[in-house]
């Protein structure tokens, strides 16, 4: 569902002629998708990892998310420059 809300957010941004009128819906979809995805990631990591490795697993998860955020931000910045 989180990915569906994310895809819906992107479709709304891409296909609406006047996105300002849809701004509240776009913000709600975006927040819902992020909330679902981040909660699910942590729940799955907690379920799959042994108890003694949970904190290390959460650290790796946070590091991977931060690296992905940096790469995507750099890519979007590159696209905006082009």
- Specify whether the CB–CB gap between 41 and 61 falls below 8 A: yes
Domain range spanning residue 68? 2-81
| Structural domains in the chain (count) | 1
What was the pLDDT predicted at 6? 84
What was the pLDDT predicted at 47? 94
Specify burial of residue 58 (Cβ count, 10 A radius: 0-12, 13-18, 19+): middle
What was the pLDDT predicted at 27? 86
CA atoms within 13 A on the CB side of 36: 12
What was the pLDDT predicted at 9? 87
| 6-19 residues labelled b (16+ CB within 10 A) or e (exposed) | bebbeebeeeeeee
What was the pLDDT predicted at 18? 77
> Mean pLDDT, consecutive 10-residue segments, the chain of 82 residues?
84 81 83 89 92 93 93 95 90
What was the pLDDT predicted at 8? 84
């Amino acid at each position: 569902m989180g990915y569906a809300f994310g895809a819906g957010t992107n479709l709304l941004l891409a296909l609406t002629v006047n996105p300002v009128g849809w701004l509240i819906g776009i913000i709600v979809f975006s927040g819902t998708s992020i909330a679902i995805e981040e909660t699910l990631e942590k729940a799955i990591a907690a379920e799959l990892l042994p108890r003694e490795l949970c904190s290390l697993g959460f650290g790796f998860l946070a590091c991977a998310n931060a690296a992905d955020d940096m790469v995507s931000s750099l890519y979007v910045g590159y696209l905006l420059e082009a």
